[in-house]
Copies of this chain bind each other. A is one copy, B any other.
Amino acid sequence: MPAAEEPGRQRKRGVELERAIKDATIAELACGGYGSVTIESVAARAQTGKGSIYRRWPTKQELVLDSLGDLLAGPLLGAVEMQLDDKISTRDAILTLVRRITKLMSGLGGDAMRSIMGESLRDEAFCGTFECDFFDPRKQVLIGLLERGVRRGEVRPEAVSVLVPEMLAGTLIHRVVVRRRPISDAELVELVDGFVMPAISPR
């Protein structure tokens, strides 16, 4: 609904307007991928005009990449920080992390992730951005958990491997985001207890 159809409705300006435009872009992207995004539909959803968009981004492509970049760095798919209770075991910490990731991917984060993956599959350059800005930082969180586990005697030193986060991320993202199939808590427990813990625990 264009703002001007509602006389007296306040216009967005500055950062607020940019936020609305980027959010609208992500929403349109989630609907049907890059090809289904039009500047007109983004403007309508953001309740703004195309001129305001073109004042900020010279092309549709740059708008999409900027919006996805914000998404990568934003709170919805944000850095998965964990404040660990000293007492929590490595197993419980990993399970908590996996539950959090799953919850995120099962909601709006799933749509967001589909948008990002769609662009990643389409655009090899963006694939590199996805790797650096999204995947690597999250991988480090889990590597950190494993290193903490080594210090606590709960993880074999040689088990600190990138395959642990890659296995967890790959399995969850493929299941929930790509195939759109919910995963139960029992399956998450089975994943951690059945695959991860035997792989990392002291023998």
Q: Which residues of A contact B (CB under 8 A)?
A: 32-36, 114, 117-118, 120-124, 127, 130-131, 135, 159, 161, 163, 166-167, 169-175, 177-181, 187, 190-191, 194-196, 198-199
Contact = CB atoms under 8 A, between A and B. Distances in A.
Contact of A121 (B33, B169, B170, B194): B33
Contact of A127 (B135, B179, B198): B179
Contacts of A34: 33, 35
Contacts of A123: 32
B161 A190 contact: yes
**Copies per complex of this chain:** 2
26 contacts: A33-B121, A33-B122, A34-B35, A35-B36, A36-B122, A117-B178, A121-B177, A121-B178, A124-B180, A127-B178, A135-B179, A163-B194, A163-B195, A166-B175, A167-B171, A167-B191, A167-B195, A169-B174, A170-B172, A170-B175, A171-B171, A173-B174, A194-B199, A195-B195, A195-B198, A198-B198
A171 to B, nearest CB: 4
A94 to B, nearest CB: 14
Contacts of A169: 174
Nearest to A161: B190
Q: Which of A190, A191, A195 has the most CB of B within 10 A?
A: A195
A161 to B, nearest CB: 7
Contact of A170 (B120, B173, B196): B173
A163 B168 CA distance: 12
A117 B120 CA distance: 11
Nearest to A181: B131
